[in-house]
């Protein structure tokens, strides 16, 4: 039982979504991206399709079509047809390239193209399943990406506050040192008055320091709270996926 639980914990998101469908996992593990916003071309789909027709390399267009399909559930059927059509055209282009490499005696390259032919053929036959899994996969990845961006922003804010606090501490220490030097030049009566003012200023500085510490402590507690909420939400989404 323990080994089974350990195996479940080690499953990737894509493995969870594909379940026992190993052929689907095998294809999607090569065609879905951990960071889609960074990996997928920013060009519009029509431009990518035109470039694919000229180069006979449909990969970028297919990647874009899959991602756009995941982001437009109301147009799911239209994107299924677009992806299927691109996969069929990619199959033909890859098959022609494979045959050409075989004739040229480039067997290793031909074998690679042969695997690509099989992937594209599978994609044209299982387009609906591919888009369904990709939708859940990219939805989760984008949620995690948003969480990461927010965490980094909060971390940057904390680091900035820390730098400001250090600068404030150095400035206040410099001001105290300057006041001590000034007191050495004063008469006894002036020094007594200066020490009284120093005591008041030190108390105010200590209050400000405690206020900054309290604010930092509150920020750390809020970060823990947000982290717990995000973790709970991730676990809930995973539990929901495992029920399917």
Got the DSSP string for 70-96?
A: HH-GGGHHHHHHHHHHHHHHHHHHHHH
Burial of 177 (C-beta count, 10 Å sphere; 0-12/13-18/19+): exposed
The answer to whether residue 9 scores a pLDDT higher than 50 is: no
Split into its structural domains, the chain has a count of 2
99 shares its domain with 150: no
What pLDDT does 6 receive? Answer: 45
pTM: 0.76
135 shares its domain with 155: no
Highest mean pLDDT among 84-98, 166-180, 195-209: 84-98
Burial of 131 (C-beta count, 10 Å sphere; 0-12/13-18/19+): buried
The residue among 117, 139, 161 that closes a domain is 139
The answer to whether residue 213 scores a pLDDT higher than 70 is: yes
What pLDDT does 7 receive? Answer: 47
Range of the domain at 199: 143-243
93 shares its domain with 15: yes
83 shares its domain with 62: yes
Q: Where is pLDDT greater, at 149 or 49?
A: 49
On average, the pLDDT of the chain sits at 88
The answer to whether residue 230 scores a pLDDT higher than 70 is: yes
135 shares its domain with 156: no
174 shares its domain with 239: yes
The residue among 103, 124, 139 that closes a domain is 139
For residue 94 the two structure tokens come to 């890859």
109 shares its domain with 167: no
Compute the average pLDDT of residues 90-111. Answer: 87
Structure confidence at residue 242 as a pLDDT band (50, 70, 90): confident
Compute the average pLDDT of residues 201-230. Answer: 85
124 shares its domain with 190: no
Angstrom distances, CA of residue 233 to CA of 19, 145, 226, 242:
21, 14, 10, 14
Compute the average pLDDT of residues 52-56. Answer: 93
């Amino acid at each position: 039982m323990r080994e089974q639980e350990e195996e479940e914990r080690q499953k990737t998101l894509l493995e969870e979504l594909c379940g026992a469908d190993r052929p689907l996992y095998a294809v999607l593990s090569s065609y879905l991206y951990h960071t889609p916003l960074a990996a997928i071309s920013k060009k519009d789909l029509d431009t990518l399709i035109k470039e694919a027709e000229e180069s006979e390399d449909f990969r970028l267009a297919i990647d874009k079509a899959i991602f756009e399909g995941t982001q437009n559930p109301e147009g799911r059927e239209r994107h299924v047809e677009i992806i299927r059509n691109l996969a069929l055209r990619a199959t033909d282009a890859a098959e022609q390239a494979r045959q050409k490499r075989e004739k040229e005696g480039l067997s290793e390259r031909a074998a690679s193209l042969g695997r690509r032919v099989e992937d594209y053929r599978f994609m044209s036959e299982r387009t609906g399943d591919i888009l369904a899994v990709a939708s859940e996969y990219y939805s989760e990845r984008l949620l995690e990406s948003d969480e990461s961006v927010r965490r980094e922003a909060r971390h940057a804010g904390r680091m900035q506050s820390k730098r400001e606090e250090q600068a404030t501490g150095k400035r206040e220490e410099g001001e105290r040192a300057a006041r001590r030097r000034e007191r050495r030049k004063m008469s006894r009566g002036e020094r007594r008055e200066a020490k009284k003012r120093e005591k008041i200023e030190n108390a105010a500085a200590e209050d400000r320091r405690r206020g900054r510490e309290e604010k930092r402590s509150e920020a750390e507690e809020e970060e823990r709270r947000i982290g717990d909420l995000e973790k709970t939400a991730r676990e809930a989404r995973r539990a929901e996926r495992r029920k399917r």
